Chain A
Amino acid sequence: MSDFDFDIIRRSWPLMREATWTSIQLFAWSLVMASFIGLLVALMRLSNVRALRWLAGVYVWIFRGLPALVILFFAFFWVGREFNLTSFQAAILGLGVSSGAYTAEIIRAGILAVDSGQQEASDALAMSRAQSMRRIILPQGIRVMIPNYVSNATLLFKSTSLATVIGLNELTGRSRQLANSTFKPIEILTAAGVVYLVLTSVLVGLQVLLERRYAVKG
């Protein structure tokens, strides 16, 4: 093994920076989509309407039961071809749908963790179900959701690397190409690893901050 070549990293950095930005954008959009799906599916699972509960249960079963990679293939090769999606759009769809199933379970657990007395008190105050969910239950459930929600987001960020398999030039895929073309896999892949570590550490730091912000004041 030759000496670690910092220069190759410096010269590859413009391309890697661009790819990092793609990864971050993919992450942000998928997180938005996963959160919407998660909230919707969680509320459906707790609904009084049996068909909705059943539908949501099947959703979670299917999308947690499949590898994210397989879901991405569906999003790209099937939905993507039917609707002419770019690989970026297909990746958002696939990751959002997949992560949404996990998010749904996290939100549901948070809602269930709120003491049932809160719901009863809201009923006694003649609040509608939607009102009590919005004003009473969800704000209290958020405290329970935050740690799991953020660590799920960290997993989602790491999963954006899968999009390379459907042809998106995000950080992992771009680094692999650069590793091939420069014949310096150690340097390039290590640099990519450092970028991921920094970004995931930021997310973990955010988790700590949020937990502190939402902690019960004692």
Chain B
Amino acid sequence: MDVQFFLDVFPEILEGLQMTLSLFLWTMLFSTLLGLVLALMRLSPITPLRWFSAVYGWLLRGIPLLLLLFYVFFALPEFGDFFTFSPFRSAVVGLTLWTASYQSEAIRSGIISVDKGQSEASDALAMTKSHQMRKIILPQSVRIIAPPFTGNAINALKQTSLATVITVSEMTGITRGIIAGSFQTVEPLLALALIYLALTTVLVFAQSGLERVFRLKT
């Protein structure tokens, strides 16, 4: 192992961190919104909405993310200019569609875990459905949603590495470039691994912190 080379490539790879994080944050933002919509659709009394959400989940959870990214990047542009995205946007679209299918399950299971008496009581108070959901059900379900939600977030962070395959130059892509150019593999891979490990470890701590915040006080 060449320590000097390791120290040289470390900052170079770290430059990709910004790209990795922006992939991650945009994905989290959009997939949370889409996941919430899909979860509410799944619980809706309107049959086509329920169906749509169920089929969406089955489709998205049934194929590899990599295939989805290829689809967004290579196949969607065939449908017209409106569907032609830059590599970065393609990656965000693919990661969002994929992560949302997992987030919607996390959110749905949180919502149905709230005791039925709560919605009955809100009915008795003549609250509208959306009012109930916003003020009574969702706030109570957050406690159940938080652990799988952050678990999905950690997965999303790791999966931003796939964006390299559709030519986004995030940390993994930069590392591949260094390996191809220098024929030295251990040093750049070790640097990359250390950065990912630091990131996921921070998220795991955030997860247990959140769980502590949301724990029921007794």
Contact = CB atoms under 8 A, between A and B. Distances in A.
Given A67-B161, A158-B64, A161-B67, A176 B196 contact: no
B67 A186 contact: no
Most buried by B among A62, A64, A77: A77
A86 to B, nearest CB: 17
A30 to B, nearest CB: 14
A207 to B, nearest CB: 13
B80 interface: yes
A22 B72 CA distance: 24
A74 B176 CA distance: 11
Interface in B63-78: 63-67, 70-71, 74-75, 78
B64 A67 contact: no
A77 B179 contact: yes
Contacts of A73: 172, 175-176, 179, 185, 189
B192 interface: yes
A168 to B, nearest CB: 12
How would you classify the secondary structure of chain B's contact residues: helix, strand, loop or mixed? Answer: helix
B189 A200 contact: no
A178 to B, nearest CB: 11
B62 A197 contact: yes
Contacts of A192: 67
Interface in B145-177: 158-159, 161-162, 164-165, 172, 175-176
A138 B80 CA distance: 55
A69 interface: yes
A201 interface: yes
A201 B59 CA distance: 10
A161 B165 CA distance: 12
B161 A158 contact: no
Contact of A158 (B58, B65, B172): B65
B204 to A, nearest CB: 8
Contact of B64 (A1, A65, A180, A196): A196
Contacts of B197: 61-62, 65-66
Interface in A137-192: 158-162, 164-165, 172, 175-176, 179-180, 185-186, 189-190, 192
Contacts, number: 110
B75 A161 contact: no
Interface string B36-60: 0000000000000000000000110
A77 B186 CA distance: 8
A74 B188 CA distance: 10
A56 B182 CA distance: 34
Given A70-B189, A70-B196, A162 B66 contact: yes
A81 B179 CA distance: 13
A165 B164 CA distance: 10
B50 to A, nearest CB: 19
Contacts of B161: 67, 69-70
B193 interface: yes
Nearest to A195: B63
A65 B185 contact: no
B64 A186 contact: no
B205 to A, nearest CB: 12
A201 B55 CA distance: 12
A193 B63 contact: yes
* B58, B66, B80, B158: residue with the most chain A Cβ atoms closer than 10 Å: B66
15 contacts: A62-B197, A67-B162, A68-B158, A69-B161, A161-B66, A172-B66, A176-B74, A179-B74, A185-B70, A185-B71, A189-B75, A190-B75, A192-B67, A193-B59, A196-B63
Given A162-B162, A185-B74, 8 more contacts: A65-B196, A65-B201, A66-B200, A69-B164, A161-B65, A172-B64, A172-B66, A179-B70
Interface of A: 1, 61-62, 64-70, 73-74, 77-78, 81, 158-162, 164-165, 172, 175-176, 179-180, 185-186, 189-190, 192-193, 196-197, 200-201
